[in-house]
Structure 1
Amino acid sequence: MEAVAIHTYRPATKGPEPSGTPLTVLMLVTTTPAVLAAALLRPRSQSSARRGR
């Protein structure tokens, strides 16, 4: 029977702090123009087309 080494727990070493853009800011920057474009490019209703708009 072989002896099995038991490793003791040690906390993970801290790496460098992330210096990138926060995920929420990145999400807002990418989704806001898409939402605005979809709102501006959607087809108009028939009633507003008859009024000469």
Structure 2
Amino acid sequence: MSLVSINPATGEKIREYQETSQEETEVMLQQAQDDFLRWRETTFEHRRDLLL
């Protein structure tokens, strides 16, 4: 099953999202946590340079 995002003003389909399993969700959440722990150790200057 998938979830479809629709622009309410135009009715246009924006994107379709596939459902994930409990295991896939847990893996993604763990990856996000690991990435956050690395990201918070970076300097402001490094973050700025990546975003500009």
Give the structure with the larger strand fraction. Answer: 2
Q: Say yes or no: TM over 0.5.
A: no
Highest RCO, 1 vs 2 (Cα 8 Å, sep ≥ 6): 2
TM range (shorter): 0.3 to 0.5
Task: Please tell me whether Structure 1 or Structure 2 has the larger radius of gyration of its CA atoms.
Answer: 1
Give the structure with the larger helix fraction. Answer: 2
TM normalised by structure 2 equals 0.35
